[in-house]
Chain A
Amino acid sequence: DAGVTQSPTHLIKTRGQHVTLRCSPISGHKSVSWYQQVLGQGPQFIFQYYEKEERGRGNFPDRFSARQFPNYSSELNVNALLLGDSALYLCASSWDYHMDTQYFGPGTRLTVL
């Protein structure tokens, strides 16, 4: 079975632009979570979605938004990009929203110039 997939792999944007990152969970997994990992740090929780509803939100500004589709795939949107948004964006999936064991995708490397 395929693992968590994310697209694109790499992305370069300039300040003020917006970006959309995509994630497909492991088949059968209904929960998708998004994390931001800045170089040299552990991942920071951004959002969790389950059955198309937001189940959790981390300490990120309203420029960050997400949604989940009927097939359980998900998009993360970031508006008005700042230099500090440069990071590895990770998507993780699990069977249910309260499941601690999460499986991560390869990530999308976002560089903001």
Chain B
Amino acid sequence: TQLLEQSPQFLSIQEGENLTVYCNSSSVFSSLQWYRQEPGEGPVLLVTVVTGGEVKKLKRLTFQFGDARKDSSLHITAAQPGDTGLYLCAGGGNQGGKLIFGQGTELSVKP
């Protein structure tokens, strides 16, 4: 059974701080997606990484795919209250269109 473990599960920080969320697995994935979800809404795609060692930047967000394609990280610089939400990583490519999700990281950024 493929599993993705995210850490930390909960994160409460002050505006302006930096943070990193980790997504780890013992399985190799052909791609890794990061989503952000607001309460009661569907996940919104932030990025897809497909190459081992790949780094993608989206404004203050930096995403990295591990060299062995088993892990990924999301780094947020100078967090803002608008970054508050549930961050989900999802691995894909091993079973058609089935995505394997981590349990999520609940981020709260206080002004």
Contacts and interface: CB of A to CB of B under 8 A. Distances in A.
Q: Is the interface of B mostly helix, strand, loop or mixed?
A: loop
Nearest to A108: B42
Nearest to B95: A56
Contacts of A92: 99
A42 B104 contact: yes
Nearest to B42: A104
A31 interface: yes
A106 B97 contact: no
Contacts of A103: 45
Interface in A19-33: 31, 33
A81 interface: no
Contact of B96 (A40, A44, A56, A88): A56
Contacts, number: 81
Interface string A75-101: 000000000000010101010011111
The listed residue with most A CB atoms (<10 A of its CB), out of B40, B43, B97, is: B97
B33 A101 contact: yes
The listed residue with most B CB atoms (<10 A of its CB), out of A42, A43, A104, A106, is: A42
B88 interface: yes
Nearest to B29: A100
A50 interface: yes
Interface of B: 4, 30-31, 33, 35, 40-45, 48, 50, 88, 90, 92-93, 95-104
Q: Which 9 A-B pairs have the closest CB atoms?
A: A100-B92, A42-B101, A104-B42, A100-B31, A48-B97, A45-B98, A106-B42, A101-B48, A107-B42
